[in-house]
Amino acid sequence: ELLDTPSVFHKTKRRHLGLETLEDIFGFESYFAFVLRSVEVLRFHAAANVLSKHEQMLEFVRVVELLETMMANRRLVTMRNPMKRRLLRTVAQKSVALAFQARLWRVVFRHLRQLCNESTSDELIALFTRTLFTHADADFLAGAAQATRSENNAWDKLKPFTRFRRDTYAASVTEARSWALRQLARHPHSYALTLLAGHFCAVAQQYSMAVPEYCRAHRLAPNDALTSLCAGVAYISFSMSRAVVHRHSAILKGFALIQRYKKLRLDSLASSASEEAAS
């Protein structure tokens, strides 16, 4: 099975042909240092004013493809070595930063999902959620008018040049939603994943499904002001639906949760002010 991995297969072929790579000559650590320096040079060149915005995007895409290919060929072997694993994570961070600039969302969210899979920390999932819903490309999720084709719609022009298929923001959101639902099934008591599921329902304007998710998140963290705000807004939005049975009850619950949000926020501000005064 080990011979089936691309890195071992290519290494065997090179040895058979008598070829040596930079890694074979200078070692793994020196080779990765060379790659990271090369990435910085390419990044500086792409950010130079001599290139147009479209050409800058193409340069970023090429660098990301290079890094992703290198990591894909080495992941199974290098993860066994702590030093190689550390260098591989450094390369992954570079790839994420460049992919974010090039708006290769599938790459960005895949790396963020890997971080969340390694640790079920609410902070990492919160970072994933913020990146997913607060970027400018997420405006269409709220029903905003579709922007005209321009250089800002990077995927329209870069898709023929990249091997990452379905690299639109909508496709990335769909993959992120599927991942979040699978993770929530494995960790049903995760506050961050429950809140993320509620966000997906709210974005899809499925308020009848968003309300129970937000309420479940509120039960998991009753003193978190964000859950009170989300649940209150979801209740009020749901009350304007034709499918609601007890409209007045939904409105009252919504405003009650918003009042609770106000109280929690004021208490938080008061405690922060008292701590600053004490210090």
pLDDT, tens digit, for every residue of 77-97?
555 667 777 777 788 888 888
- Does 235 have pLDDT greater than 50? yes
Query: What's the token pair of residue 143?
Result: 């029903």
Per-residue confidence (pLDDT) for residue 30, from 0 to 100: 81
Q: What is the pLDDT of residues 1-42, one digit of tens each?
A: 444 455 566 667 777 777 777 777 777 778 778 888 888 887
Is there a contact between 71 and 65 (Cβ–Cβ < 8 Å)? no
In this predicted structure, the answer to whether residue 76 has a pLDDT above a threshold of 70 is no
Judge contact between 265 and 225, C-beta under 8 A: yes
User: Do both 111 and 10 map to the same domain?
Assistant: yes
Nearest to 165 by CA among 109, 94, 107, 113: 107
* pTM passes above 0.85: no
Residues 6+ apart with CB under 8 A from 132: 109, 138, 173, 176
Say if 234 falls within a structural domain. yes
Q: What's the CA gap between 39 and 99, in Å, rounded? A: 13
* Band of residue 50 on the pLDDT scale cut at 50, 70, 90: low
What's the pLDDT score for residue 68?
A: 82
Residue 172 has pLDDT above 80, yes or no: no
Q: What's the mean pLDDT in 235-255?
A: 92
Q: Are residues 223 and 269 in the same domain?
A: yes
Which amino acid, 10?
Answer: H
Residues 98 and 197 in one domain: no
Q: Which domain holds residue 90?
A: 1-131+149-166
Report residue 51 CA to chain centroid gap.
28
Residues 120 and 256 in one domain: no
Q: Please report the pLDDT score of residue 236 as a whole number.
A: 95
* Residue 143 counted as domain residue: no
